[in-house]
Structure 1
Amino acid sequence: MDGKRAVVLISGGLDSPTVLAYALDHGYKVFPLSFDYSQRHAREVQSSEKICSYYGLELKKITINLRQIGGSALTDDIEVPERGIDSIDGSVPVTYVPARNTIFISLAAAYGEVIKAGTIFIGANAIDYSGYPDCRPEFYNAMEKTLNLGTEYGIESGFKINVPLQYLTKADIVKLGRKLGVPYRLTWSCYNGREKACGRCDSCILRLKGFMEAGDFDDIEYEEYPDFYFQYLKSHGKL
């Protein structure tokens, strides 16, 4: 039974709800977990709540204050950068939150120990992403080994970190999510937590690129669209 119980990290963006739907589709009893870490885009926590409500799941929220550490545009008084799609490369951007996924995975494992859930799902992606070091396969392989060395449950039963979107493009993720019926209208990816998504930060740009390359259209509202997506909408009679 333990092997079919899973903690699913959910942030409310494009990837993690897709992973939640994937876990459900693969027969797991899902225990969603989100974090309010005093992030600039705290609106994503509201999206997590809406998504879990949609699936009839009870969301567990953990509150930690990473602003006490800072060092990121998401947890400090640092401006969120706006750049073109061609400028997003493998370098680590200022929106990287120091050790965030290390902290999240560790807390997910602690929760998993208590509820006897041996699998931890996370929506990390190493193809279309902003260059975060804690999105790489090497990191998750190392973290899984660490959990199985340093926790009682890991020693006795074994933890598995499941990263099903690891090698998918954003377009692949959109296609998978549509197939699984993910309610993308309820999601939120923008690093700026305003009424509408900005359409200019890395997260918005990568999200819109994914929908475009999937031949699909995003369901949420934007303050403005990057030129490539504006032209895409225009060519399909959506403007």
Structure 2
Amino acid sequence: MNTTQSKDTKRILLILLALFLGGAVPIQLVTLSTGYAQLVIEKIKGPEMIMTAHQFASGYIPFVYIPAILGLIVIAWYCKTHYPDVYRRIVVGFGIGALATVGLDFFRQMAVIYEWLPGDTPEMFGMIATGSKNFAWYYSVGFVIHFLNGANFGLIYAFVWGKQSGYKSAISWAVFWLILVEIGMMTAPPMEPMVGPFGINYAWPQLFLSTLIAHIAFGIILGIGVQYFLKGEDKRWLVPFLLNKNLG
């Protein structure tokens, strides 16, 4: 294998590893924890569900979640010098994803205030992660996890879609991505076992509509931000980007 082939192979592995460590691993913390509690142990909701989910999270966080985040940081640091295009997608996707979470939270908090949601997301995330009853501690941790989730969804978008031909296309694909996220959230743990698919057993249609609008707002901000900060040479979706091939 020559030097160019070796460099291309390393680049492909780093891209796939960044997607795995910065996407699948962190985002699945809550789904796997609550899925364990709700579907395996059959604790559907309430304090027992939270503490059972914590049993899973207490192992997942130190041995999977934190190493994944640290691994992503190492990959970004290495790619800054060796693969700048990969570095850009990590930093832009992660940063804009976190920023877009602010827009999502405007609508999410309204749903919490009007009790269309069964609970406050950072509060639930924090209690699952820490198992603590100290509000300041578990809410702070939950808030960080909440924003890391948004950042990781942004990273996946930047890697898969990259820079588009224009803002209209970027917003459309980003909103499409977040609608997929919305559908997943409405049909998977922890939401579906607690409130039924799309919230039909809790606050229908307010729960579904409020979370849908929140995710659309997230998608709009994500599409605009990624489109603005990525460069012209980043106009490649995942496969040509992965193989380092130019479009057209």
Greater helix share, structure number: 2
- Would you say same fold, with TM above 0.5? no
Larger Rg: 2
- TM-score using structure 2 length: 0.31
Greater strand share, structure number: 1
